[in-house]
Protein backbone atom coordinates (compact mmCIF):
# COMPACT_ATOMS: atom_id res chain seq x y z
CA UNK A 1 0.00 0.00 0.00
CA UNK A 2 3.04 2.26 -0.02
CA UNK A 3 2.42 3.36 -3.60
CA UNK A 4 -0.63 5.40 -2.56
CA UNK A 5 -2.90 3.94 -5.24
CA UNK A 6 -4.18 1.20 -2.93
CA UNK A 7 -4.93 3.81 -0.24
CA UNK A 8 -7.58 5.51 -2.37
CA UNK A 9 -11.19 4.83 -1.70
CA UNK A 10 -13.01 3.10 -4.51
CA UNK A 11 -16.60 3.47 -3.44
CA UNK A 12 -17.90 0.48 -5.39
CA UNK A 13 -15.41 -1.77 -3.53
CA UNK A 14 -15.85 -0.11 -0.12
CA UNK A 15 -17.49 -2.74 2.11
CA UNK A 16 -19.77 -0.39 4.11
CA UNK A 17 -21.00 1.15 0.86
CA UNK A 18 -21.59 -2.24 -0.74
CA UNK A 19 -23.53 -3.51 2.28
CA UNK A 20 -25.60 -0.32 2.42
CA UNK A 21 -26.26 -0.40 -1.32
CA UNK A 22 -27.39 -4.03 -1.18
CA UNK A 23 -29.58 -3.34 1.85
CA UNK A 24 -31.21 -0.38 0.13
CA UNK A 25 -31.96 -2.34 -3.04
CA UNK A 26 -33.38 -5.27 -1.09
CA UNK A 27 -35.43 -2.96 1.17
CA UNK A 28 -36.97 -1.21 -1.85
CA UNK A 29 -37.93 -4.52 -3.44
CA UNK A 30 -39.34 -5.82 -0.16
CA UNK A 31 -41.30 -2.61 0.35
CA UNK A 32 -43.04 -3.18 -2.98
CA UNK A 33 -44.40 -6.45 -1.57
CA UNK A 34 -46.25 -4.78 1.30
CA UNK A 35 -46.35 -1.00 0.97
CA UNK A 36 -49.19 -0.55 -1.52
CA UNK A 37 -51.38 -3.46 -0.45
CA UNK A 38 -51.00 -2.92 3.31
CA UNK A 39 -50.01 0.79 3.54
CA UNK A 40 -46.89 -0.10 5.56
CA UNK A 41 -43.56 1.74 5.32
CA UNK A 42 -40.23 -0.11 5.59
CA UNK A 43 -39.66 1.28 9.11
CA UNK A 44 -43.18 0.27 10.12
CA UNK A 45 -42.54 -3.21 8.73
CA UNK A 46 -39.39 -3.57 10.84
CA UNK A 47 -41.30 -2.57 13.97
CA UNK A 48 -44.27 -4.80 13.08
CA UNK A 49 -42.02 -7.82 12.50
CA UNK A 50 -40.07 -7.10 15.67
CA UNK A 51 -43.23 -6.87 17.79
CA UNK A 52 -44.47 -10.13 16.33
CA UNK A 53 -41.28 -11.80 17.56
CA UNK A 54 -40.85 -9.79 20.79
CA UNK A 55 -44.20 -8.72 22.30
CA UNK A 56 -44.40 -6.49 25.37
CA UNK A 57 -41.27 -4.47 24.66
CA UNK A 58 -40.56 -0.76 24.85
CA UNK A 59 -39.88 1.61 21.98
CA UNK A 60 -36.24 1.83 23.14
CA UNK A 61 -35.83 -1.97 22.99
CA UNK A 62 -37.49 -1.96 19.57
CA UNK A 63 -34.90 0.56 18.43
CA UNK A 64 -32.09 -1.62 19.75
CA UNK A 65 -33.42 -4.74 18.06
CA UNK A 66 -33.93 -3.01 14.70
CA UNK A 67 -30.86 -0.72 14.79
CA UNK A 68 -33.19 2.16 13.90
CA UNK A 69 -32.74 5.61 15.40
CA UNK A 70 -35.19 6.94 18.00
CA UNK A 71 -36.94 9.30 15.59
CA UNK A 72 -37.56 6.57 12.99
CA UNK A 73 -38.82 4.18 15.68
CA UNK A 74 -41.10 6.84 17.14
CA UNK A 75 -42.58 7.73 13.75
CA UNK A 76 -43.08 4.08 12.85
CA UNK A 77 -44.81 3.36 16.16
CA UNK A 78 -47.04 6.42 15.80
CA UNK A 79 -47.98 5.37 12.26
CA UNK A 80 -48.74 1.82 13.35
CA UNK A 81 -50.78 3.03 16.33
CA UNK A 82 -52.70 5.46 14.08
CA UNK A 83 -53.48 2.56 11.72
CA UNK A 84 -54.68 0.42 14.62
CA UNK A 85 -51.89 -2.14 14.16
CA UNK A 86 -50.02 -1.54 17.41
CA UNK A 87 -51.30 -0.97 20.91
CA UNK A 88 -49.20 1.14 23.28
CA UNK A 89 -49.81 1.01 27.04
CA UNK A 90 -47.81 2.33 29.96
CA UNK A 91 -45.87 -0.24 31.95
CA UNK A 92 -47.36 -1.12 35.33
CA UNK A 93 -43.82 -1.11 36.83
CA UNK A 94 -42.67 2.21 35.36
CA UNK A 95 -45.28 4.72 34.18
CA UNK A 96 -42.63 6.54 32.10
CA UNK A 97 -42.11 3.47 29.94
CA UNK A 98 -44.62 2.22 27.41
CA UNK A 99 -45.07 -1.36 26.29
CA UNK A 100 -45.89 -2.20 22.67
CA UNK A 101 -47.91 -5.06 21.24
CA UNK A 102 -49.56 -5.89 17.95
CA UNK A 103 -53.30 -5.54 17.84
CA UNK A 104 -55.33 -8.36 16.29
CA UNK A 105 -55.40 -6.36 13.06
CA UNK A 106 -51.62 -5.83 13.28
CA UNK A 107 -51.04 -9.55 13.81
CA UNK A 108 -53.34 -10.42 10.92
CA UNK A 109 -51.50 -8.05 8.56
CA UNK A 110 -48.12 -9.33 9.75
CA UNK A 111 -49.19 -12.91 9.00
CA UNK A 112 -50.27 -11.88 5.49
CA UNK A 113 -46.96 -10.14 4.80
CA UNK A 114 -44.73 -12.80 6.37
CA UNK A 115 -45.02 -15.39 3.55
CA UNK A 116 -44.35 -12.69 0.94
CA UNK A 117 -41.07 -11.62 2.54
CA UNK A 118 -40.04 -15.22 3.25
CA UNK A 119 -40.59 -16.05 -0.42
CA UNK A 120 -38.41 -13.07 -1.38
CA UNK A 121 -35.70 -14.17 1.07
CA UNK A 122 -35.84 -17.67 -0.42
CA UNK A 123 -35.38 -16.23 -3.91
CA UNK A 124 -32.20 -14.52 -2.70
CA UNK A 125 -30.91 -17.62 -0.93
CA UNK A 126 -31.71 -19.83 -3.95
CA UNK A 127 -28.93 -18.22 -6.00
CA UNK A 128 -26.41 -19.42 -3.39
CA UNK A 129 -25.34 -22.99 -2.74
CA UNK A 130 -25.97 -24.37 0.75
CA UNK A 131 -22.26 -23.94 1.50
CA UNK A 132 -22.41 -20.29 0.36
CA UNK A 133 -25.53 -19.68 2.46
CA UNK A 134 -23.78 -21.10 5.52
CA UNK A 135 -20.69 -19.04 4.80
CA UNK A 136 -22.76 -15.88 4.30
CA UNK A 137 -24.55 -16.46 7.61
CA UNK A 138 -21.21 -16.93 9.39
CA UNK A 139 -19.69 -13.84 7.77
CA UNK A 140 -22.69 -11.64 8.56
CA UNK A 141 -22.68 -12.86 12.17
CA UNK A 142 -18.95 -12.19 12.42
CA UNK A 143 -19.29 -8.66 11.03
CA UNK A 144 -22.32 -7.93 13.24
CA UNK A 145 -20.43 -9.06 16.34
CA UNK A 146 -17.39 -7.00 15.35
CA UNK A 147 -19.36 -3.77 14.99
CA UNK A 148 -21.23 -4.40 18.23
CA UNK A 149 -24.66 -5.27 16.89
Query: What pLDDT is recorded for position 4?
Result: 55
Alpha-carbon span 17 to 13, nearest angstrom: 8
Task: For residues 58 and 126, give the distance between their C-alpha atoms in angstroms, rounded to a whole number.
Answer: 36
Domain of residue 100: give its range: 21-147
- Going by pLDDT thresholds of 50, 70 and 90, the confidence category of residue 5 is low
Residues paired with residue 99 on neighbouring β-strands, in sequence order = 89
Residue 78 lies in a domain: yes
Asked if residue 141 belongs to a domain, the reply is: yes
- Asked, for residue 4, whether it belongs to a domain, the answer is no
Task: Summarize pLDDT for 67-121 with one digit per residue, the tens.
Answer: 999 999 999 999 999 999 999 988 677 777 789 999 999 999 999 999 999 999 9
Q: What is the pLDDT of residue 11?
A: 93
pLDDT at 1: 42
Over residues 13-31, the pLDDT tens digits come to 999 999 999 999 999 999 9
CATH assignment at residue 35: 1.10.10.10
The CA distance from 48 to 39, in Å, is 12
Structural domains counted in the chain: 1
**In sequence order, what are the residues at sequence separation of 6 or more whose Cβ sits closer than 8 angstroms to the Cβ of residue 113?**
33, 34, 38, 40, 45, 48
Amino acid sequence: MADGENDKLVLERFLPYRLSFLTNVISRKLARLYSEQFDITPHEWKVLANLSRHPNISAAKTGEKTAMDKVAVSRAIKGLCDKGLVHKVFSSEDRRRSVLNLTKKGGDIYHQIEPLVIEYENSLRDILSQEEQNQLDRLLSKLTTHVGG
